[in-house]
C-alpha cells in the first residue's frame, strides 16, 4: 500500500469528528422536543483499569450531552442482585443503553449477564443476538472497538475487498467481531490465537495487521510486510508507568504505510463508537415506543 506523508492514524483527531456529530445529534433531539439520550454504566468491583475506562466513558457522555447513569457495585454483588438491576434498566423507558463493564468478578456468569440485557439496549454489541446479526451480515449494534477500527480504515479510504488481514487475538470483545466486520467487507481474514504456530510468518503476509492480545511490544517491526496498515488495539502499562501497545511502535513505524499510536489510537475510537451506539439504541428505543 502507498506511503502517506502522515502515516499516523490519529484516533484522537478522528474521534473528535464523531464526538462533534453526536453533540449535534443530541442537540437536535432536544430541539425537536425529545428527551436527552441516556446510558447506564454498571461496574462491579474495583478493578483499577475498569474504573478508569468507566470514568472515561462517563466523561465522554458528559462532553456530548448524553445523560450517564453510574452503578458502582461492590464485588460481593450476587448474580441475582445484578440481574435485578439489569432487569430494572431494561424496563426503564428512559434508559437507552446498558453497559456492563468487563471483566466481571469470577463468581458472576458474564455470558448470562450480557444476554440478560435487551438486545436493543446492548450498547456494547456483545449480546448473542447482536453478535449473531453481525455474523449474518445483518448488523444491529456492533462492538465498539472493531467498529472504531473500521472507522479508522475507512478514513484512509482503503478498499478492503481481497486484502489479507491478520488478526492476533480471538477475544469476544475484539478479535472475533473484528474478523466478522472484515469478512462482511470481503477481506481475507486470518485469526491467530495463543496456540497458533508461525505467528511471525503469518504477520508477514498481512496487508492489514490488527493486534489485540494484551502483550506489551509483542509484534516486532521485522515481522511486518513493507506497506502494511498496522492497527494496535493493546494498551499495556509498563513498570515505568509508560503506556505501550502490543506492537513495537518504533520498529513497526518504518515498515507501515499507516500505523496507530498508543495511546491516542484505537482507544479514543472505542469511546466514540460507544457514543454512536448509544444514539443508535436511543433511536431504536424511541421508535419502539412510537409503535406501541
Number of residues that bind ligand GUN (CB under 6 A): 9
Least Å distance, CB 100 to ligand GUN, is 6
- First CA to last CA distance, the chain: 51
Residues 110-169 that bind ligand GUN (CB under 6 A): 124, 144-145
Question: Closest Cα partner for 182 from 113, 231, 250, 111?
Answer: 231
Number of Cβ within a 10 Å radius of residue 23: 15
Least Å distance, CB 127 to ligand GUN, is 11
Burial 31-59 (b: 16+ CB within 10 A, else e): eeeeeebbbbbbbbbebeebeebbeebbe
Helices within 198-265 (DSSP H only) = 199-204, 249-255
- Asked if residue 44 binds ligand GUN (CB under 6 A), the reply is no
Least Å distance, CB 242 to ligand GUN, is 21
Active site residue 57: yes
| List 124, 207, 232, 246, catalytic entry | 124
Counted residue by residue, the chain has a size of 292
Half-sphere exposure of 87 (CA within 13 A, CB side): 7
Nearer to ligand GUN, 129 or 253 (CB): 129
Active site residue 124: yes
| List 25, 96, 101, 248, catalytic entry | 101
Least Å distance, CB 166 to ligand GUN, is 21
Listed ranges 6-14, 17-25, 98-106, 132-140: which one lies at the site for ligand GUN (CB under 6 A): 98-106
Nearer to ligand GUN, 144 or 213 (CB): 144
How far is it, in rounded angstroms, from Cα 130 to Cα 138? 9
Listed ranges 70-78, 95-103, 187-195, 226-234: which one lies at the site for ligand GUN (CB under 6 A): 95-103
- Asked if residue 99 binds ligand GUN (CB under 6 A), the reply is yes
Grid cell locating 158: 482503503
Grid cell locating 24: 449535534
Least Å distance, CB 282 to ligand GUN, is 18
How far is it, in rounded angstroms, from Cα 33 to Cα 148? 30
Determine the number of helices (DSSP H) and then strands (DSSP E) in the chain. 10, 10
Helix (H, G, I), strand (E, B) or coil at 259: strand
Q: Is 34 left (phi over 0), alpha (psi -120 to 50) or beta?
A: beta
Closest residue to ligand GUN using C-beta atoms: 102
- Asked if residue 102 binds ligand GUN (CB under 6 A), the reply is yes
Residues 168-207 that bind ligand GUN (CB under 6 A): 173
Contacting positions for ligand GUN (CB under 6 A):
99-102, 124, 144-145, 173, 270
So which residues are the catalytic ones?
57, 101, 124
Amino acid at each position: 500500500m502507498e506511503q502517506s506523508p502522515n502515516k499516523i492514524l490519529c484516533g484522537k483527531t478522528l474521534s473528535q469528528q464523531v464526538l462533534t456529530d453526536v453533540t449535534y445529534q443530541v442537540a437536535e433531539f432536544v430541539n425537536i422536543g425529545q428527551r436527552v439520550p441516556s446510558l447506564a454504566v454498571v461496574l462491579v468491583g474495583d478493578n483499577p483499569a475498569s474504573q478508569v475506562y468507566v470514568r472515561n466513558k462517563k466523561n465522554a457522555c458528559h462532553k456530548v450531552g448524553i445523560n450517564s447513569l453510574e452503578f458502582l457495585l461492590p464485588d460481593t454483588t450476587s448474580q441475582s442482585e445484578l440481574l435485578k438491576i439489569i432487569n430494572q434498566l431494561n424496563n426503564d423507558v428512559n434508559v437507552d443503553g446498558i453497559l456492563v463493564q468487563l471483566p466481571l468478578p469470577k463468581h458472576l456468569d458474564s455470558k448470562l449477564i450480557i444476554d440478560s440485557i435487551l438486545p436493543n439496549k446492548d450498547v456494547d454489541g456483545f449480546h448473542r443476538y447482536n453478535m449473531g446479526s453481525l455474523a449474518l451480515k445483518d448488523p444491529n449494534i456492533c462492538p465498539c472497538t472493531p467498529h472504531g477500527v473500521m472507522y479508522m480504515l475507512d478514513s484512509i479510504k482503503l478498499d478492503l475487498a481481497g486484502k489479507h488481514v491478520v488478526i492476533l487475538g480471538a477475544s469476544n470483545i475484539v478479535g472475533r467481531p473484528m474478523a466478522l466486520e472484515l469478512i462482511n467487507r470481503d477481506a481475507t481474514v486470518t485469526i491467530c490465537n495463543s496456540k497458533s504456530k508461525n505467528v511471525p510468518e503469518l504477520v508477514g503476509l498481512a496487508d492489514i495487521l490488527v493486534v489485540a492480545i494484551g502483550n506489551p511490544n509483542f509484534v516486532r517491526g521485522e515481522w511486518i510486510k513493507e506497506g502494511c496498515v498496522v492497527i494496535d488495539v493493546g494498551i499495556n502499562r509498563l513498570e515505568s508507568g509508560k503506556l505501550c501497545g502490543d506492537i513495537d511502535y518504533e520498529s513497526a513505524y518504518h515498515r507501515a504505510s499507516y500505523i496507530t499510536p498508543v495511546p491516542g489510537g484505537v482507544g479514543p475510537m472505542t469511546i466514540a463508537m460507544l457514543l454512536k451506539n448509544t444514539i443508535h439504541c436511543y433511536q431504536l428505543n424511541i421508535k419502539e415506543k412510537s409503535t406501541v
